[in-house]
Amino acid sequence: MLLDRDGVVNQDSDDYIKSVDEWKPIPGSLQAIARLCDADFTVVVVSNQSGIARGLLDREDLRQIHREMHRQVEAAGGRISGVFVCPHGPEEGCGCRKPQPGLLLDVERSLGIPVAGAPLVGDKPADLEAARRAGCEPILVRTGKGAAAERDGTGIDTALVFDDLARVADYLISRGTDS
């Protein structure tokens, strides 16, 4: 299963998450990842990180943030099998920035995990559109920018909607499948 990072796993910020000190997990998200792992889901994070292109953080800052995310997820009993990032800005026209599907297809190529049919949990319409383009199951959470996206309604018509990652985990585990 694929998770957006900011707004799904950790608190989002309009000023970007630029350091380990700014990375704060959403209550219940780390435990949700652990429960998904216990249920044999492979958890992969896919995240646009244009703060790099904007010069707000560098790749080492991002590595430190991701080390802390891994550490906290592991302390909760879970595991993230990979973190895939688009470092480009929105104007660069790359194929990996969501809503383009390139980042998701990189997961498939790099980890050998089929993404078609896999759940992708996000909090923005771009996440859901990337899911559709890659053949994933789009799931919106109301955390992060998800509640605003739900109110707006643009691009969420075929997505399942849940309050947070913990409720997504409940649903997926009860359904009993990783795809």
Asked if 106 is an active-site residue, the reply is no
Tokens of 59: 């790749």
Asked if 21 is an active-site residue, the reply is no
Is the separation of the CB atoms in 170 and 146 below 8 Å?
no
Tokens of 105: 């297809």
Among 4, 61, 106, 123, the active-site one is 4
Is the separation of the CB atoms in 120 and 127 below 8 Å?
yes
Query: CA angle, corner 23, sides to 11 and 73, nearest 5?
Result: 90
Is the separation of the CB atoms in 134 and 105 below 8 Å?
yes
- Strands 119-122 and 2-3, sheet pairing: parallel
Which amino acid makes up residue 146? G
Q: What is the set of active-site residues?
A: 4, 6
